[in-house]
Amino acid sequence: MSAQEEMTRRDFVKAAAIAAGGAAVLNLGRAKAQDKGERPQQAADVKVLNPRNRVPMSLIIDDSTCIVNLAHFGIPHFAEAWPDNYKQDWRKLPREIPDSFVRKFGEWCRDNGVKGKYSIVPYPACVGRLDRGLPGWSKKELDDSLKLVRELMMSNWDIHPEMVTHTRVIDTKTGHPYPEWSEKFMENWGWSQDKSAEVLTDYMSYALRILKNVGLDCEGITTPGGFGGQNRDNLAKATLQSCRDVFQAEIPHYFRDLFTDDQSVAPLVQYASGLAGPDPKCVVSIIGCTGDWFGGWDGLERGSADKCITEDLKSGRLPQVVEKGEPAIIVCHWPGIYFNGEEVGFNIFKEVVRRVHARYDNLVWMKQSEIARYWAARELTQIDKQGPRVTFTAPYAAKRFTVQVEAAGPAVPKLTSNNLPIELKRVNKPLEIDSGAWCADDRNVTICFDLPKGKTILELL
């Protein structure tokens, strides 16, 4: 693995301990295992499959916000902390990414079934808080931009704060950035690495409340650059607490890492507790599988679709992940998707989508929150089997929950929850399966259903 591949998600720019777009620390990967928490018993001859027996796909968009081009305003902040590493002529970059492009992008993704995560940096590069106005733009322009996110994007995209500013650290007591401009007081670098879970919870809650004030619901958080890279336990705990406190999120999740080597990119369900009680808790780490191979974090580096999937559809990172059956979560940055009005990154992404759809017919696009919920249900549902009877005791509900049960011979599944039957229909092929359907072969019965919280009984008759 190259030095670049060892880094966190901005590894594609700087092969040093400093990464571009504000990331700072080496990706420590999974060298230090984090607390998984409780795990229930699950019968060995009952296997939880991917939803609808398909491979989840998703797109993570970082460094996006309303109107402001974060690259234009953020690079001067990065250069103050690391002058030798940020020499881009930020004055040549557009100061805004217009809502006309947001609409064009959002409508194309909607029409092509693409889902994912879209960051909204709450106080982008200290230009202005989204709940108090952006100097340089009218109130109507900001209101219209927020309305566009609420009405177009939120149906298919999770909204995350990418901390508060994505550049300088805010003193949450005053609402102003700390006066020191060093890396120690940049969100992307040193400040977060030694903070307690309580301090990080306060900071994340500050970001979440700004988005709540403007009507944007959040179940998760994105870390800017190296935020929390050396403080992962407290980062996870703070995500869990802040998302529950501000939005009462049932299953908080966060995006911190991406791996482009042979490490697993399956989500990590962490700090599970209280699974048998009325208030179960967990937090899910969502992991990307690509670098930004589109237009770069600053919109200055032209990418290529081939790193994701080659023109002959045979190679590239996405086939590696899809064929392992793990979520294929693509990572990009909004300034590079826009690419200073040339839309280079957007066009590359459209080609990637065309190629993966041409290669595979077993994909399902999902939001990060949907993936997090499915993995929490997958790992935290107790599954007991006695003869032909299977009992699922679920702390969380999950749509399109798909299981495969070993059967000694021909069998017809009967499903009940709270003593009420759940109607099932038989389909002929595994890829025809959807919620309320089942299929079988000589050895297994596969059932897809909307898993409710509590007990569900499956009987093979």
pLDDT in tens, 407-455: 877 889 999 998 899 999 999 999 999 999 999 988 899 999 999 999 9
Is residue 221 domain-shared with residue 182, that is, in the same domain?
yes
**Does the structure show a pLDDT above 60 at 345?**
yes
**Does the structure show a pLDDT above 90 at 361?**
yes
Predicted pLDDT at 16 = 29
d(CA 106, CA 151): 10
Is residue 275 domain-shared with residue 294, that is, in the same domain?
yes
**Does the structure show a pLDDT above 90 at 10?**
no
CA torsion, ordered 277, 283, 287, 292, to nearest 10 deg: 140
Is residue 389 domain-shared with residue 363, that is, in the same domain?
no
pLDDT in tens, 210-249: 999 999 999 999 999 999 999 999 999 999 999 999 999 9
Least confident of 5-9, 165-169, 313-317: 5-9
281-288/253-258 β-pairing: parallel
Per-residue DSSP letter, 107: H
Any domain includes 260: yes
| Domain end (from 325, 344, 374) | 374
Is residue 321 domain-shared with residue 398, that is, in the same domain?
no
Is residue 88 domain-shared with residue 123, that is, in the same domain?
yes
Is residue 29 domain-shared with residue 140, that is, in the same domain?
yes
Is residue 124 domain-shared with residue 250, that is, in the same domain?
yes
Is residue 354 domain-shared with residue 405, that is, in the same domain?
no
Is residue 358 domain-shared with residue 434, that is, in the same domain?
no
Least confident of 98-102, 317-321, 403-407: 403-407
d(CA 173, CA 131): 17
d(CA 110, CA 387): 45
Predicted pLDDT at 83 = 94
d(CA 234, CA 301): 34
Any domain includes 7: no
114 burial via Cβ count (<10 Å: 0-12, 13-18, 19+): buried
Report the CATH number at residue 224. Answer: 3.20.20.370
Percent of all residues in the chain with a pLDDT value above 90, rounded to a whole number: 90
Per-residue DSSP letter, 196: -
**Does the structure show a pLDDT above 60 at 9?**
no
Predicted pLDDT at 23 = 33
Any domain includes 15: no
| Domain end (from 374, 396, 426) | 374
Token duo for residue 263: 């490490």
Is residue 341 domain-shared with residue 386, that is, in the same domain?
no
pLDDT in tens, 380-415: 999 999 999 999 999 999 999 999 998 877 889 999
> CA 194 → CA 198, 233, 234, 285, distances in Å?
12, 11, 9, 20
Any domain includes 44: no
Predicted pLDDT at 7 = 39
Is residue 284 domain-shared with residue 427, that is, in the same domain?
no
Is residue 210 domain-shared with residue 301, that is, in the same domain?
yes
d(CA 226, CA 234): 14
> What would the mean pLDDT of 353-382 be, rounded to a whole number?
98
> What would the mean pLDDT of 43-50 be, rounded to a whole number?
96
| Domain end (from 323, 351, 374) | 374
Provide the 3-class DSSP secondary structure of residue 61.
strand
Any domain includes 2: no
How many distinct structural domains can be found in the chain?
A: 2
> What would the mean pLDDT of 92-99 be, rounded to a whole number?
98
Predicted pLDDT at 18 = 37
Any domain includes 307: yes
208: Cβ–Cβ under 8 A, 6 or more apart, which residues? 161, 218, 221, 242, 243, 246, 247
Predicted pLDDT at 281 = 98
Predicted pLDDT at 5 = 32
Any domain includes 259: yes
Any domain includes 131: yes
Predicted pLDDT at 418 = 82
Supply the range of the domain harboring residue 437: 382-460
**Does the structure show a pLDDT above 70 at 4?**
no
